[in-house]
Amino acid sequence: MANIKSAKKSIKTDAKRAVANHAIRSKIKNDIKRIEAAVVKGDKDLAQAELKKFVPDIDKACSKGIVKKNTCAREKSRLNKKVKEMSK
């Protein structure tokens, strides 16, 4: 257990930040699952709508440092490719 006052405070703020980061990460994962489910179903309109909501969410997480830059780019690229192949 921390003895220094600033260390005690950082334990509290780390816990709050961890909860917030977890919420953002789970939102991104759920978005990915919804897009992939729409692709499997063959619902092009739903997949495109979900992709439009997903991109700003993952970009925001990337800018906050919750998701790494390359992970962000890779996920966007893969999902975009799946949706585009669907429309052919």
Tens digit of each residue's pLDDT (9 = 90 or more) over 61-88: 999 999 999 999 999 999 999 999 987 7
> What is the pTM assigned to this prediction?
0.86
Instruction: For the domain made up of 9-86, give the CATH fold.
Output: Methane Monooxygenase Hydroxylase; Chain G, domain 1 (1.20.58)
Residue for token digits 């969410």?
Answer: 57
Q: Which residues of 7-21 are buried (b: 16+ CB within 10 A; e: fewer)?
A: eeeeeeeeeeeeeee
- Show Cβ contacts of residue 79 under 8 Å, excluding neighbours closer than 6 positions: 32, 35, 36, 51, 54
22: left (phi over 0), alpha (psi -120 to 50) or beta: alpha
What ranges do the domains of the chain cover? 9-86
Express each pLDDT in 21-68 by its tens digit: 999 999 999 999 999 999 999 999 999 999 999 999 999 999 999 999
- Show Cβ contacts of residue 7 under 8 Å, excluding neighbours closer than 6 positions: none
